[in-house]
Amino acid sequence: MIKTLRWGIIGLGWFGEIHAETLSAMPGIELAALCTRTPRRLGELADRFGVGKRFTDYRQMLADPEIDLVSIVTHVDDHRDIAIDALRSGKHVLLEKPMAPTAADCDQILAAAATSRGFFMVGHVCRFDPRVVLAKQAIDEGRIGRIISMHARRNLSKTIGRMVLDNISALMGDGIHDGDLMLWFSGAKPLSIYAQEVHPGNNKYADGGWALARLEGGAVAVIESIWHLPESTRFQIDARIEVIGTEGALYINCGEAGLEIQDGTGNHMPDTVYWPKLFAQRMGALRAEFRYFADCISAGRRPDRVTPQESRDAVALLAAAQESSRTGQVVAF
């Protein structure tokens, strides 16, 4: 007999909605509460998913004893305060990435997590991508030797860019995935980073950026995030990672994920791995991530597939990249 987990979501933007769609169909999980400051949006989604508990103030949700855990899917600028409050309330917390805008913010969350009775994990969904996990396993088995060079790209259509670039830059928003993966793959700490960004659009943050890091042990790690592909692009996301080692190389391609549809509206390669909707249910890596976190809670076992420290280190890497972009200088760690 497994107890049903009562899950609340704080933040109902497009990705909070994906959380809700995913959670609402998972056995052993009850999507129990929703929270956003916009009453209309709140009612709309709560009605759609049949959720009784509705909040416009997240503190009220945290005070509700009938909620076991929350996922925080707000703007990154709000992550620190909400996460700390949630951890202090004793709830289990799944926080969307990036953990927070700065390493200092992350350190405050880490401190709160250390003393909370709730579990804490940052939702690095790529860690639950089978292609990525198999790559990590191959690296750990020594199949490619010592890593000498890595490149990761995560490029998106400007259509998507325009929706997100007032909240976060492309380099931080998607580079956080690849920064995390590169540190995980290599097990190395960064020594220095240098970055350049481009800002052709009219949103607050830069549409694209490149960062070139040097890691302990000698590897070079290069991150590319450009949210300015043409509207017509067949890529849902042009995402790939190449890792070259002293004895081998491996190539991850997340953009060409096994399905291309050419129809009256153009050429399309839909997501088949992260959160594809199959027979009206969201499946894929995001659901696997939720499953993992839920199973940890059910089993009373602290989640360790992504540690808070790792999530913090990825923020530190990308924050340094943004500092480099601002100053034009190489940033040392």
Residues sharing a CB contact under 8 Å with residue 310, sequence separation 6 or more, in sequence order:
124, 180, 183, 184
- Among positions 19-48, residues that touch a copy of itself (CB under 8 A) are 27-28
Task: Tell me how far apart the alpha carbons of residues 163 and 304 are, in angstroms, rounded to a whole number.
Answer: 33
Size of the site for a copy of itself (CB under 8 A): 79
Are 20 and 49 contacting, i.e. CB atoms less than 8 angstroms apart? yes
Nearest alpha carbon to residue 23 among 73, 63, 58: 73
Does position 63 bind a copy of itself by CB under 8 A? no
Residues sharing a CB contact under 8 Å with residue 134, sequence separation 6 or more, in sequence order:
none
Distances in whole angstroms, Cα of residue 37 to Cα of each of 12, 164, 197, 321: 9, 18, 33, 32
Does position 155 bind a copy of itself by CB under 8 A? yes
Are 166 and 204 contacting, i.e. CB atoms less than 8 angstroms apart? yes
Does position 152 bind a copy of itself by CB under 8 A? no
How is residue 219 written in tokens? 């590897």
From candidates 250, 297, 306, 320, binder to a copy of itself by CB under 8 A: 250
- Among positions 159-198, residues that touch a copy of itself (CB under 8 A) are 192, 194, 196-198
Binding to a copy of itself by CB under 8 A, coded x per residue (else -) over 260-299, reads xxxxxxxx--x-xx--x-xx---xx---x------x----
Does position 200 bind a copy of itself by CB under 8 A? yes
- Taking the least distance from each CB to a copy of itself, the nearer of 54 and 131 is 131
| Residue given tokens 């925080």 in the structure block | 72
Stretch that binds a copy of itself, among 63-71, 95-103, 150-158, 309-317 (CB under 8 A): 150-158
Does position 208 bind a copy of itself by CB under 8 A? yes
- Among positions 209-248, residues that touch a copy of itself (CB under 8 A) are 209-210, 212, 214, 218-220, 222, 224, 226, 228-230, 232-234, 244, 246-248
Q: How far is the CB of 198 from a copy of itself (least distance, A)?
A: 5
- Taking the least distance from each CB to a copy of itself, the nearer of 50 and 304 is 304
Are 130 and 202 contacting, i.e. CB atoms less than 8 angstroms apart? no
From candidates 166, 253, 302, 309, binder to a copy of itself by CB under 8 A: 253
Three-state secondary structure call for residue 293 = helix
Report CA Rg, the chain: 20
Does position 143 bind a copy of itself by CB under 8 A? yes
